[in-house]
Homo-oligomer: A and B are copies of this chain.
Amino acid sequence: MYSFTEENYLKTIFYLSIGAKEGVSTNALADSTNTRAASVSDMLKRLAEKGLINYQKYRGVTLTEEGERLALLVIRKHRLWEVFLAEKLQFGWDEVHVIAEELEHIRSERLIEKLDAFLGYPKFDPHGDPIPNAAGEMPRFIYRKLSEIVEGTTVVMTGVSEHSPAFLQHLDKAGLTLGCQLKVNEISDFDKSVSVLIDNVRTLFVSHEVAKNLLVK
Binding site for B on A (CB under 8 A): 85, 88-91, 95, 98-99, 102-103, 106-108, 110-111, 114-115, 118
Contacts and interface: CB of A to CB of B under 8 A. Distances in A.
B107 A102 contact: yes
Nearest to A105: B102
Nearest to A98: B108
User: 6 closest pairs, A vs B, by CB?
Assistant: A89-B114, A102-B106, A99-B108, A99-B111, A89-B118, A88-B118
A115 B89 contact: yes
**Interface SS of chain A:** helix
A91 B106 contact: no
A87 to B, nearest CB: 11
A90 B102 contact: no
A111 B91 CA distance: 9
Contact of A111 (B89, B108, B110): B89
Contacts of A107: 102
Nearest to A85: B111
A103 B105 CA distance: 10
A146 to B, nearest CB: 32
A98 B109 CA distance: 13
A7 B118 CA distance: 30
A111 B89 CA distance: 8
18 contacts: A85-B111, A88-B118, A89-B111, A89-B114, A89-B115, A89-B118, A90-B114, A91-B110, A91-B114, A95-B110, A98-B108, A99-B106, A99-B111, A102-B106, A102-B107, A102-B108, A103-B103, A103-B106
